[in-house]
């Protein structure tokens, strides 16, 4: 903000004496809350980094007791308080995509469907095609594709398609999560929300 001016949403400089009092008050409130939100975000980021490092160090310490060497912060871990009242979970989620071999799998599945549905209803084909449908961003539903591999179908073409799906899987990244839970009166665990929307 230049001295004596405020920048509006279009990027124009407006003299402060031309800005309505309510607009100035709204701006001040928003800026105050944004500052607090950024501070909380930074605290959460520090908590997450520290918690991940602490859980990783504890897992390494536990492994050393048995002479085992672990590499990196891989795998999901749950740590419980001695009284069982609290638990911390470290989860590592992999982001999965499929390469061009998924198209080969789709072609093989289509062959199977043409044969299997030649004299029957087409609902099966609709269900399979649903698995390959993309969302608005052009992404395929990973869970739906992987669920096809759980079907116990022994047709050779189907088995080749499932192999192609398996071969097409690419892990493009991981995301680490730390979740904290507290035991409730019924013995289950409720998350301690670290998301503003969940509080």
What is the pLDDT at residue 3? 83
119, part of any domain = yes
Domain boundary among the residues 41, 74, 107 is at: 74
Query: Number of structural domains, the chain?
Result: 2
CB 76 within 8 A of CB 92: yes
Ranges assigned E (strand) in 40-168 = 77-80, 86-98
Range of the domain at 11: 1-74
1 and 31, same structural domain? yes
Residues 105 and 165 in one domain: yes
- Give yes or no: residues 4 and 70 share one domain: yes
Q: What's the confidence (pLDDT) of residue 32? A: 97
- Does some domain include residue 87? no
Q: Is residue 66 part of a domain?
A: yes
How far apart CA 145 and CA 153 sit, in angstroms, is 15
Residue 76 has pLDDT above 90, yes or no: no
Q: What is d(CA 141, CA 135) in angstroms, rounded to the nearest whole number?
A: 8
Q: Indicate if 44 and 101 belong to the same structural domain.
A: no
Does a structural domain hold residue 145? yes
- In a domain, residue 9? The reply is yes
Question: 113 with 168, same domain?
Answer: yes
CA 58-61-65 angle, to 5 degrees, is: 140
Q: 104: buried, middle or exposed (CB in 10 Å: 19+, 13-18, 0-12)?
A: middle
Q: Indicate whether 64 and 125 sit together in one domain.
A: no
Give 150's pLDDT tier (boundaries 50, 70, 90).
Answer: confident
Report pLDDT for 145. Answer: 85
* Residue 16 covered by a domain: yes
Give the CA angle between residues 51, 54, 55 to the nearest 5°.
85
Task: Give 85's pLDDT tier (boundaries 50, 70, 90).
Answer: very high
Asked whether residue 20 is assigned to any structural domain, the reply reads yes
Q: Could you identify the residue written with the tokens 């071969």?
A: 167
Q: Report CA 183 to chain centroid distance, whole Å.
A: 25
Are 147 and 105 within one domain? Answer: yes
Q: Identify the band that residue 94 occupies on the pLDDT scale cut at 50, 70 and 90.
A: confident
Residue 113 lies in a domain: yes
């Amino acid at each position: 903000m230049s001295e004596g001016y405020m920048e509006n949403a279009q990027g124009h400089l407006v003299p402060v004496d031309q800005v309505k009092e309510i607009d100035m008050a709204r701006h001040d409130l928003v800026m105050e809350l944004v500052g607090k939100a950024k501070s909380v975000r930074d605290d959460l980021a520090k908590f997450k980094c520290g918690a991940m490092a602490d859980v990783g160090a504890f897992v390494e310490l536990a492994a050393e007791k048995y002479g085992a060497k672990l590499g990196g912060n891989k795998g999901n871990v749950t740590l419980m308080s001695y009284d069982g009242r609290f638990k911390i979970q470290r989860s590592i989620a992999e982001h999965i995509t499929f390469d061009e071999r998924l198209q080969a799998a789709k072609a093989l599945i289509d062959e199977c469907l043409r044969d299997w549905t030649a004299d029957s209803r087409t609902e099966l084909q609709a269900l399979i095609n649903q698995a390959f449908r993309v969302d608005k961003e052009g992404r395929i539903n990973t869970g739906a594709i992987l669920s096809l591999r759980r079907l116990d179908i022994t047709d050779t073409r189907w088995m080749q398609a499932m192999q192609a799906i398996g071969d097409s899987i690419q892990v493009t990244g991981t995301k680490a999560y730390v979740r904290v839970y507290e035991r409730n009166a019924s013995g289950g665990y409720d998350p301690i929300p670290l998301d503003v929307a969940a509080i």
